[in-house]
Amino acid sequence: MAVKSAYIAKKSQKNQRGEGKSDETGDIFDREEEFQAYHDMLLIRRFEEKAGQLYGMGFIGGFCHLYIGQEAVVVGMQMALKPGDQVITSYRDHGHMLATGMDPKGVMAELTGRRGGYSKGKGGSMHMFSREKQFFGGHGIVGAQVPLGAGLAFANKYRGNDHVALTYFGEGASNQGQVYETFNMAALWKLPVIFIIENNRYAMGTAVTRSAAKSEELFNRGSVYGIPGEQVDGMDVRAVRAAGEKAVAHCRAGDGPYILEMMTYRYRGHSMSDPAKYRAKEEVQKMREESDPIEQVKKRLIETGAANEDELKKIDAEIRAIVMEAAEFAQSDPEPDPSELWTDIYVNA
């Protein structure tokens, strides 16, 4: 039985074109899938906690936006993809990178600005990429990745393959003008792009109800372009995968874009320097206690007898070791050679 997200009081919604039933969490995970989801979400959680700690110690500088609380969104969506599908997102991107299979060492070393980082230390937390994993960043300007993601989808269509581009953005970005320009063209040209609105309820310090008209229906924002949309319990990894599979099938069939509004929550501040005074501590605590995506899986595994505490502790220990290794690498790896200042500005023609 699924633990329902506490704040999604009413059933998940869909617009007239959405045909799914993402509210029912009817998509059952087998034991292996539950373990995978648990593992992948926990890796993100522990990685982000460690990143927060390294930030506190001064090893990570600048801006650092943690994904803690939102893990089910990327992990569930990734489970709906096949190799070659593309992913692009905003600056809250560490979870997406780990979910696509990027090496935690390379990600952490980029956070600390070291030469072994994915961008050789020149991109930082907000700007990392992996061609191999089809991860296209990591973009620091709110909303800018939305047309870029549609461009990835454009390339799929141009080449005549059936790959899908996942384009993530926050509910704050969903008010950006370029998002609607993109909705229009994506629908007009039937681009295979899934727009995933990660609605964590706060755009920095502004609650969604203070920034968005009809904020309870962001999934409906593409309806005038004929883009189907659904609201999904983004704290339940099974609901996410179920919705993701449907959207992916829609895109692969050549039926154009799809919008998924993931109802999620970030436990930490917008960035590391956010004291988060715009919301009540009780609200955060309630989400953690009643809707935590990782605890949901853990509870299912224990209650159904699919796993015992020892098995889960073993996974925990493995993940702690991976994260510790990443953190140690990220602290000991040298900074980029000064000559790197002048490289990668142009590709030699």
Give the type of residue at 6: A
Pairing, β 202-203 against β 206-207: antiparallel
Angle formed at CA 212 by CA 223 and CA 273, multiple of 5 degrees: 130
> Which of the stretches 4-12, 208-216, 268-276, 293-301 binds another protein when contact is defined by CB under 8 A?
268-276
Regarding 225 and contact with another protein (CB under 8 A), the answer is: no
**C-alpha neighbours within 13 Å on the C-beta side of residue 41:** 31
Residue carrying the six token digits 């991860």: 135
**What tokens appear for 243 in the block?**
């919705």
Pairing, β 193-199 against β 206-207: unpaired
Least separation in angstroms between CB 53 and another protein = 5
Out of 1, 9, 213, 345, the residue judged to bind another protein by CB under 8 A: 345
| Residue 45: count of CB within 10 angstroms of its CB | 22
Regarding 47 and contact with another protein (CB under 8 A), the answer is: no
Least separation in angstroms between CB 165 and another protein = 8
CA distances to 90, 95, 280, 332 from 43, rounded to whole Å, are 20, 9, 27, 21
Regarding 148 and contact with another protein (CB under 8 A), the answer is: yes
Give the footprint of another protein on residues 281-300 (CB under 8 A).
288
**What tokens appear for 254 in the block?**
């050549």
How many residues belong to the site for another protein (CB under 8 A)? 76
Contacts of 94 (CB under 8 A, 6+ apart): 44, 47, 48, 51, 66, 67, 107, 111, 125
Give the footprint of another protein on residues 302-341 (CB under 8 A).
331, 335, 338-339, 341
Regarding 151 and contact with another protein (CB under 8 A), the answer is: yes
Binding mask 183-222 for another protein (x = CB under 8 A): -xx--x----------------------------------
Least separation in angstroms between CB 320 and another protein = 9
Regarding 50 and contact with another protein (CB under 8 A), the answer is: yes
Regarding 59 and contact with another protein (CB under 8 A), the answer is: yes
Out of 18, 20, 76, 117, the residue judged to bind another protein by CB under 8 A: 117
Residue carrying the six token digits 């569930």: 76
Regarding 125 and contact with another protein (CB under 8 A), the answer is: no
Out of 243, 267, 293, 307, the residue judged to bind another protein by CB under 8 A: 267
**What tokens appear for 211 in the block?**
């920034």
